[in-house]
Amino acid sequence: MQGLVFYLILPFIYLISILPFPILYVVSDFLCFLVFNMVGYRKKVVKKNLKNAFPEKTYAEIQDINKKFYRFFCDWIVEMIKSITISREQALKRCKFNDSSLQLLNQLSTQNKKIIFVMGHYGNFELGGAEMAYRTNYQLYVLYKPLSNPYFNKLINKKRTRFGIKIIAMQEALRKMLSLKDSNEFSVTTFIADQTPSPKNAYWTTFLNQDTPIFWGTELIAKKLNYPIVYICVQQYKRGFYEMRAEMLCENPKDTAKGEISEMHTRRLEKDIVAQPEFWLWSHKRWKHKRPQ
């Protein structure tokens, strides 16, 4: 059944993927009308998340963020589909590091430093692979959680690896990073910090005014390997165009106290979300668990 659904949808996916960008965003606008006005995809989840995250905002302000989020969410969907066939030139044009970020990454590579990227589901967080491959000295590894449908999982992973990105299943992260530790390759491994972990084995903090579990993995692996942690923000500055900002978060993780790194990347992501909330994935059921007593 999963295969049947996949092969029925696949021609439409490729049809959208080969559209030029101006037409692609016409498709996105129509999709937004369907998702927001007709289907109401996760409307209750989004509204609840926004109200809890911003209790100080008025109903009108929440509604404004809500509408902007769905518009961006639909852009993100069609951009994901577009990236299946996007050219290297278009990818480099539409998502690039600013000059200071390239300078930081070049400086770390000249120091022979392997590093860890930490980021959230903010902006188009999957569009920067070409930039890493062609404008830095680093081999990018991205942790991923396999999809339940193996056909779509294969397609998404093929898309992710088009420009030389390598992927690591989340459960294999430590083993793979240990195997890379003594290699000559300049590796950077990306952790998406706002996934939802098991509540019993998580670091708990307050994030966007709510009790929130945080994966220990980023902190524990960084401290074990003592790799510098660089925070990445993918910020939209014009529809379809993104600037990536790299910011040193922690140079010597082994010298930090328990929970300190988790607080660092949580607070940094929170700052970006508060500044421009429409670019975060509010449809994600981030707060489905309660803090254990």
For 10-59, write each residue's pLDDT tens digit: 999 999 999 999 999 999 999 999 999 888 899 999 999 999 999 999 99
Q: What is the DSSP track for 8-74?
A: HHHHHHHHHHTS-HHHHHHHHHHHHIIIIIII-TTHHHHHHHHHHH-TTS-HHHHHHHHHHHHHHHH
Q: Which residues, in sequence order, are bridge partners of residue 205?
A: 212
pLDDT over threshold 90, residue 287: yes
The pLDDT-based confidence of 170 (bands split at 50, 70, 90) is confident
pLDDT reported for residue 251 = 97
Q: Any idea what DSSP says for residue 103?
A: H
For 95-122, write each residue's pLDDT tens digit: 999 999 999 999 999 999 999 999 999 9
pLDDT over threshold 80, residue 178: yes
CA distance 269 to 117: 13
CA distance 142 to 133: 13
Q: Which residues, in sequence order, are bridge partners of residue 280?
A: 122
pLDDT reported for residue 130 = 87
Q: Any idea what DSSP says for residue 257?
A: P
pLDDT reported for residue 196 = 87
Average pLDDT rounded to a whole number, residues 222-229: 97
Both structure tokens of 218: 């980023």
